[in-house]
Amino acid sequence: MPDDTMGGLSVRRERALAALADVPREPGAKKADPILVADDVKRQFGGLLAVDVDHVEIQRGSITALIGPNGAGKTTFFNLLTGFDRANNGSWSFNGRSLHGTPPYRVARIGMVRTFQLTKALSKLTVIENMRLGATGQRGESFWRAMFPALWRSQEDDITERAEDLLRRFKLDTKRDDFAGSLSGGQRKLLEMARALMVQPELVMLDEPMAGVNPALTESLLEHVKDLREQGMTVLFVEHDMDMVRDIADWVIVMGQGKILAEGPPEAVMSDHKVIDAYLGAHHDQSLAELEEQLEGGALAEEVAAELGQEGAAADDEAPTAKADTTPPGTTEDEAPTTTEGDGAQTADVTAEAAGAARNNGDDKGGR
Amino acid sequence: MDWGSIFELSIRELIGVQAIVFALAAIGINIQFGYTGLLNFGQAAFAAVGGYGVAVIVTTYEMSFWLGIVVAIGAAVVLALLLGVPTLRLRADYLAIVTIAASEIVRLVGRSAWGRDVFGGSDGITGFSDTFYDLNPFTEPLEFGPFEFRERILWVMAVGWGLVALCTLMVWLLMRSPWGRVLKAIREDEDAVRSLGKNVYGYKMQSLVMGGVIGALAGIVYSLFQGAMQPDVYATNFTFFAYAILILGGAATVFGPVLGAAIVWFAFQFIDLTLRAAITNEYIPDWLMNQNDTGAVRFMLTGVVLVLLLVFRPQGILGDRREIALDAR
């Protein structure tokens, strides 16, 4: 692992991109070396089919983003995969090992660790205790051995050393002995991520790592996520912030109404009409089925154009990618630059715009 | 007013058997509620099961006292498993409801008419403490300044404080270990602990069992001291006294339950004796209150003290103010 990090930051990324280069850009695409495979996963809440995933694979060593409008079932899918919720149907396996019905703590122990959308810092434990808790296989966690410090002291020292190392990397070392409850929202996100790393996972699942994080901290959080890949971990994250997705994801999976709608590299996915439908559909409070009917009937194209026209933004000639990049995160709909130029320009903007709106919702959740 | 005698009698309570019993009960609750966040409102049931374990085995079935102790502790473990298996996977409130119901079930079964042959009905069971007092190494009363303790109570106090010291030592050792860290983390957020690969259900069960067994020790000590096992001692107010003691001393502190128990029983006795003396000396006029009211008034005054404490020192006497401040965020 160390030689790779020394060998240049982009080695892992290039390897991940190379592995994904030939993967077809379609839902449920087969990957060269999947770490996680899920088949026919369904979760029903009353009459609502919250998750209905036919097939999905996560490429080992890559950063995969899971995006989709609010209520698309992303977090529920996370909960199912990690055992926090029970699926009505389906099977999924991690490193070839079936995980159906496995309780969450076992899922974590075999190397698949998640974080939460609403950060779960353990308030009345100090930062270092939070970190130490993350280490698995601790001898002192058994009742009888716990009473004899001699049996676990040396292991505890090793754990503390590893924890301090991680704290330094995440720039939390000055907070070492503070209660986790006294940290800011962004610091808690950092702590949660660092704590998850104490488990030494192979697959890190981050549920909205940016929600509620101060913009000044997002940059360092981004670096930390990229860093996970450099250290040989696989990352799967849910995010509403399209800038972040574009910046760090090797592969993007789009969910809508519980289904996988599209898959592909970030640029390709963001101009995919199905993705835009999903976001606009959420905007219009319409069901996807209706949208699809309209799409087949050719009615949707006019509707999209009409709505963009109503927003009355000025047209300009910038290239689609450049435009999308300059769209500030969280831009309101009225201010978002739109264009009637070509299809590509429109779609890129719409996606970024919808993402901005959605991200604001995400922030609300995070702040609660 | 005879302050010397008031203080002497109050200090006897400070280190007396009541303080021991409630210190043990509160130590148990401290593990469950203070450290793990489990709302066990049925500590009285665990104490009752402890008392019955010894009494039933020795008196009803005429078997060995030591078997009685083993059965008492075993019964507490079984009760904890019975309560925990269905509820510990659910939210915290379910355990609270189930335990408060269980504590009444145990008491009502104990005093029921159909169980009279085994549990002795509402009169309870006597005559099971001979083996315990036969072991008494104290042959003459101990005089210590103004205090004089008889052999019998000396023996109960020695054993009782020994148990309190042992349990406190265990809590101290456990709560500074990784095991204790997991419990505290579960109190904060059990899903986070699950996501880090800990079997939360298993830890909650261990906590419930350990607290319950210590509660059973409280019942054993009390029934041996009384020489009788009476079901109505273990009504729900037993549990809530223990909670008040724990919160007064400081939840999630090692010495909180012990300090709380000593202070509460000292205060009860002190207030009671002071009021009586004041009435006798006519410092308190007869139309306001008489001797018969002191029992009730001491509870009222204790209640006022507890309210003031929660207002001005919500973390309890030994608690850490910073921890409470986090809750307000």
Q: What does the pLDDT read at residue B189? A: 92
- Residue B47 binned pLDDT confidence (cut-offs 50, 70, 90): very high
Give the minimum alpha-carbon distance from B248 to chain A in angstroms, rounded to a whole number: 20
A3 Cβ contact list (under 8 Å, min separation 6): none
Q: Do A134 and B199 touch (CB under 8 A)?
A: no
Phi, psi of A214 (to 5 degrees): -55, 130
For A21-68, write each residue's pLDDT tens digit: 888 878 888 888 899 999 999 999 988 889 999 999 999 999 999 988
Residues A325 and A239 in one domain: no
Residue B191 φ then ψ, to 5°: -65, -35
Mean pLDDT value across residues A282-297: 60
**Beta pairing class for A203-207 and A112-114:** parallel
Q: Which residues contact A44 (CB under 8 A, 6 or more apart)?
A: A50, A88
Q: Are residues A262 and A181 in the same domain?
A: yes
Question: Average pLDDT, stretch B229-233?
Answer: 93
Residues on chain A bordering chain B, Cβ-to-Cβ distance under 8 angstroms:
82, 84, 103-106, 108-109, 113-116, 120-125, 129-130, 132-134, 136, 138-143, 146-149, 152, 156, 179, 181-182, 192, 195-196, 198-199
Task: Decide if B178 and A146 are in contact by the 8 Å CB cutoff.
Answer: yes
Chain A CA closest to residue B179: A141
Task: Supply the pLDDT for residue A220.
Answer: 83
How many beta carbons lie within 10 A of that of residue A80, not counting itself? 25
Residue of B nearest to A140 (CA): B178
| Chain B residues whose beta carbon lies within 8 Å of the beta carbon of residue A120 | 189, 191-192, 195
Confidence of residue B103 (pLDDT cuts 50, 70, 90): very high
> Which residues does chain B have within 8 Å of residue A129's beta carbon, measured at their own beta carbons?
181, 184
- Angstroms from B176 CA to nearest CA on chain A: 9
Average pLDDT over residues A315-324: 42
**One domain, residues A165 and A277:** no
Instruction: For residue A63, report the phi and psi dihedrals to the nearest 5 degrees.
Output: -105, 115
CATH class of B3-327: mainly alpha
| Same structural domain, A224 and A299 | no
- From B196, which residue of chain A is nearest by alpha-carbon distance? A134
C-alpha A54/C-alpha A76 separation (Å) is 15
Tell me which of A13 and B119 has the higher pLDDT. B119
If asked whether residues A54 and A84 sit together in one domain, one would say yes
A-B contacts at Cβ under 8 angstroms: 112
Q: Are residues A162 and A281 in the same domain?
A: no
The mean pLDDT of A64-89, rounded to a whole number, is 90
> Could you tell me which chain B residue has the CA closest to the CA of A119?
B192
Binning chain A into helix, strand and coil, the percentages to the nearest 5 are 50, 15, 35
Enumerate chain B positions whose Cβ falls within 8 A of a Cβ in A: 170, 173-174, 176-182, 184-185, 187-189, 191-200, 206, 210, 322-323, 326-327, 329
Do A266 and A245 touch, CB atoms closer than 8 A? yes
Residues of B in contact with A139 (CB under 8 A): 178
Helix residue spans in B251-312 (DSSP H): 256-280, 294-312
Q: What is the DSSP letter of A32?
A: S
Q: Considering A212, A238, A268, which residue would you say is the last residue of a domain? A: A268
Task: Map out the domains of chain B as residue ranges.
Answer: 3-327
Mean pLDDT of A90-94: 91
Identify the pLDDT of residue A298: 65
**Overall domain count for chain A:** 2
Comparing CB atoms, the residue among A82, A116, A132 nearest residue B181 is: A132
Spatial CA neighbour of B235 closest among B54, B41, B71, B31: B41
Looking at the complex, report in whole angstroms how far the Cα of residue B185 sits from the nearest Cα belonging to chain A. 6
Q: Which of A133, A142, A179 sits opposite B181 (nearest CB)?
A: A133
A96 or B329: which leads in pLDDT: A96
- Judge if A74 and A159 occupy the same domain: yes
- In contact, A127 and A145? CB cutoff 8 Å: no
A129 and B193 within 8 Å at the Cβ level: the answer is no
Half-sphere exposure of A114 (CA within 13 A, CB side): 25
Please indicate, yes or no, whether residues A144 and A220 belong to a single structural domain of this protein: yes
Nearest of A3, A366, A58 to residue A204 by alpha carbon:
A58
Q: Are residues A228 and A349 in the same domain?
A: no
- The distance of A211 to chain B (nearest Cα, Å) reads 18
How far is residue A82's CA from residue B100's CA, in Å, rounded to a whole number? 34
Domain co-membership, A289 together with A229: no
Average pLDDT, chain A: 78
Instruction: Enumerate the β-bridge partners of residue A260.
Output: A255
Average pLDDT of the residues in A102-128: 92
Instruction: Give the model confidence (pLDDT) of B191-206 as tens digits.
Output: 999 999 999 999 999 9
B282, two tokens: 């006519």
Structure tokens at B68: 């009685």
Task: Let me know: does B47 contact B20? Beta carbons within 8 Å.
Answer: no
Residue A368's pLDDT is: 36
Domain end (from A237, A268, A299): A268
d(CA A131, CA A194): 7
Half-sphere exposure of A178 (CA within 13 A, CB side): 15
CB contact under 8 A, A120 and B195: yes
A252, A268, A284: which is the final residue of a domain?
A268
In chain A, count H helices and then E strands. Answer: 16, 10
pLDDT value at A335 more than 60: no
Contact B182 A123 (CB under 8 A): no
Instruction: Pick the residue from chain B with its C-alpha nearest to A112.
Output: B195
Same domain? A42 vs A131: yes
State how far residue B208 is from chain A, nearest Cα, in angstroms: 13
d(CA B174, CA A144) in angstroms, rounded, equals 9
Q: Is the pLDDT of residue A7 over 60?
A: no
* Per-residue model confidence (pLDDT) at position B48: 96
Q: Which chain B residues touch A103 with a CB distance below 8 Å?
A: 194, 199
Domain extent, residue A17, equals 2-268
Q: Is A296 in the same domain as A219?
A: no
